[in-house]
Chains A and B, each alone.
Chain A
Amino acid sequence: MNPATLSGGRADRSMTWGMRGARMMGWASFGLAAAFVLAPERIARTFGLEGKENLIRAFGAQELLAGMGSLSVDAAPAMWSRAAGDVVHIGTLATALRSPDEGRRRNVAIGLAALVGFLAVDTVIAARLGSERSRAKGEQRDYSDRSGFPKSRSPAAGGRGGRQEAREGEPVPAQ
């Protein structure tokens, strides 16, 4: 709470849990991006993905973009792209399940479980954001009775009888 604020309730906020979730996942993306870009060799060793260091770096770039998008005003498409990224990560990590090293297979299993969790969270948040922002179809109101002109006027725009009406070829004087 800001020091100038005396009290405030969460119910009085404009942020929905979908928005807050997107922010949280956006910052998580930055953390993953940093790990993927700065320590791809270590990640490859941990999960038995040796030789795929450049792919891991590319995942880092993708996480960076997804993170920036998730923190933006248009977080829903970024969250869907995060979910798509999760699927690609799962597919890549699943290839390491064939590792002969039991320890690495355990790491992969833990990593896959985490990624599935991320996928579920990202999907729920993306869907939630979409529903929060959507407009109800077919329920647009008709405001054709709101002319704003209490006195009746002719249907054409020109010659409406306004006191300020200009004469032919003569600009309206500034006020």
Chain B
Amino acid sequence: MKALVWHGKEDIRHETVPDPEIEDDRDAIIKVTSCAICGSDLHLFHNLIPAMMPGDIVGHEMMGEVVEVGRGVSKLSKGDRIVIPFTINCDECDQCRRGNFSLCERSNRNKEMADKLYGHAPAGLFGYTHLTGGYPGGQAEYLRVPFADGTHIKVPDSLTDEQVLFLGDIFPTGWQAAVQCEIERSDTVAVWGAGPVGQMAVRSAIILGARQVVVIDRLQERLSMAAAAGAETINFEEESVVERLDALTGGKGPDKCIDAVGLEAHAASHIDSVMDRMKQMTMTANDRAHVLREMIYVCRGGGTLSIPGVYSGLIDKVPFGIAMNKGLTFRMGQTHVRRWTDDLTRRIEEGEIDPSFVITHSAPLEEGPGLYRTFRNKQDSCVKVVLKP
């Protein structure tokens, strides 16, 4: 089959690889009908997430049709149309039973290695680092789905691929970020980053009843997309984020802050961003944490910081004293995708939201390597890429 294969920093190739096979009774194989390039795929593209191996198939936002099931699979049949959550879930362990699907205790097949690094291993993930199992990803024609009974979202035939594909990652990720804020009707929610997850977080915060949603970015096309939903916008290259947020909140600061940027904050004129960028270039640091620092500074006392953005390692110069003295609450984590998807599927069906608004580029899988570059370079007003194997 054809797949997008990671070979190193900035080196993704469209190659022919062996077809996946049933390896365990609980596996299923799907024929991928749509997949997407996620912002966190760019962290892999930049080799900022440790323990990738040349030859790894990338991609963790995908859906398709079941073409084969193992003998132990009871909830799926050939022909079922499913979205695959990026977290692999056994559905049996204590964390899965608690709904903490991104912390499944059984699906990470490199658990021992991850335990040593993280203390306790997170779940297995598709198309990601070997610290999360090193499972082949879904930017491919076919995908093996381990623990298939727990690792799927059945979707109605009445909805298109474009409407439901993002149930596997960015929609529930933006939703969880907003839910973690415990939004009240008087709240101002500030969202850093108007990329795909930021766009979903903006709309989720609006649906959840925020009084005011503010989005911070530097790319006009992305700000225009956030404004379309009703968000106030701040272009951080044109105005002071701190001053504008103060102005929008009567000097109080936003009640809730969402970091939809993560470890690759843009190195603009802020001295900490420049320093972070230099440390990355000289391989002395992994994460550029400007957004985190700025959120801690501007957030209203007693507020909440929700962090769906990915961080990978040790973060330098985090003003934790400010966070402590302001009594801030931190909520974060990989998304417990299936905790939210029944509700979100229903919202899509009822026409409350249509996540396909975020798609700006759709192309055959073979164009994936070039579109990684386009997406990374923010060229051609690219916000979200969908690939068709």
Q: Is the CB of A68 within 8 A of B282?
A: yes
Q: Is the CB of A19 within 8 A of B10?
A: yes
Q: Is the CB of A140 within 8 A of B14?
A: no
Decide if B271 is an interface residue (CB 8 Å cutoff). Answer: no
Interface residue from B230, B347, B383 paired with A153 (Cβ < 8 Å): B230
Q: Is the CB of A133 within 8 A of B209?
A: no
Q: Is the CB of A149 within 8 A of B352?
A: yes
Chain B 266-305 interface mask (CB, 8 Å, partner A; 1/0): 0000000000010011110000000000000000000000
Chain B 225-269 interface mask (CB, 8 Å, partner A; 1/0): 101111100000000000000000000000000000000000000
Q: Is the CB of B228 within 8 A of A144?
A: yes
Docked pose: A91 CA to B19 CA in angstroms: 58
Q: Is the CB of B15 within 8 A of A147?
A: no
Decide if A100 is an interface residue (CB 8 Å cutoff). Answer: no
Q: Is the CB of A3 within 8 A of B230?
A: no
| Known contacts A68-B282, A170-B184: A162-B208 contact under CB 8 Å | yes
| Known contacts A136-B379, A174-B179: A143-B209 contact under CB 8 Å | no
Decide if B339 is an interface residue (CB 8 Å cutoff). Answer: yes
Contacts of B199 in A (CB 8 A): 148
Q: Is the CB of A172 within 8 A of B209?
A: yes
Docked pose: A8 CA to B15 CA in angstroms: 4
Most buried by B among A15, A136, A141, A146: A146
Q: Is the CB of B206 within 8 A of A168?
A: no
Chain B 330-357 interface mask (CB, 8 Å, partner A; 1/0): 0000000001100100010001111101
Docked pose: A131 CA to B45 CA in angstroms: 19
Chain B 345-387 interface mask (CB, 8 Å, partner A; 1/0): 0010001111101101000001001101100011111010000
Q: Is the CB of B370 within 8 A of A158?
A: no
Q: Which residues in window 142-170 of A have CB below 8 A to B?
A: 142-151, 153, 155-160, 162-170
Q: Is the CB of A165 within 8 A of B224?
A: no
Q: Is the CB of B16 within 8 A of A146?
A: no
Q: Is the CB of B18 within 8 A of A156?
A: no
Q: Is the CB of A150 within 8 A of B227?
A: no
* A-B Cβ contacts below 8 A, count: 199
Q: Is the CB of A148 within 8 A of B229?
A: yes
Interface residue from A71, A72, A142, A171 paired with B182 (Cβ < 8 Å): A171
Interface size on B, residues (CB 8 A): 72
Contacts of B358 in A (CB 8 A): 146, 148
| Known contacts A13-B11, A141-B221, A160-B206: A5-B179 contact under CB 8 Å | no
Docked pose: A174 CA to B11 CA in angstroms: 40
B276 to chain A, nearest CB (A): 12
| Known contacts A7-B16, A171-B182: A14-B370 contact under CB 8 Å | yes
Q: Which residues in window 1-30 of A have CB below 8 A to B?
A: 2-9, 12-16, 19
Q: Is the CB of B207 within 8 A of A162?
A: yes
Docked pose: A6 CA to B224 CA in angstroms: 44
Q: Is the CB of B224 within 8 A of A4?
A: no
Q: Is the CB of B11 within 8 A of A14?
A: yes
| Known contacts A148-B357, A150-B351: A74-B281 contact under CB 8 Å | yes
Most buried by A among B13, B14, B186, B283: B13
B214 to chain A, nearest CB (A): 9
Chain A residues within CB distance 8 Å of chain B: 2-9, 12-16, 19, 65, 68-69, 71-74, 78, 132-136, 139-151, 153, 155-160, 162-172, 174-175
Mind listing 19 A-B residue pairs with CB under 8 Å? A5-B55, A6-B16, A9-B14, A12-B369, A14-B369, A68-B282, A71-B9, A78-B281, A147-B230, A148-B199, A149-B352, A150-B353, A157-B212, A157-B213, A162-B209, A162-B352, A168-B185, A168-B186, A171-B182
A4-B17, A135-B377, A166-B208 known; 11 other A-B pairs, CB under 8 Å?
A8-B15, A139-B381, A141-B221, A143-B225, A146-B228, A148-B203, A150-B352, A168-B184, A171-B183, A172-B209, A175-B179
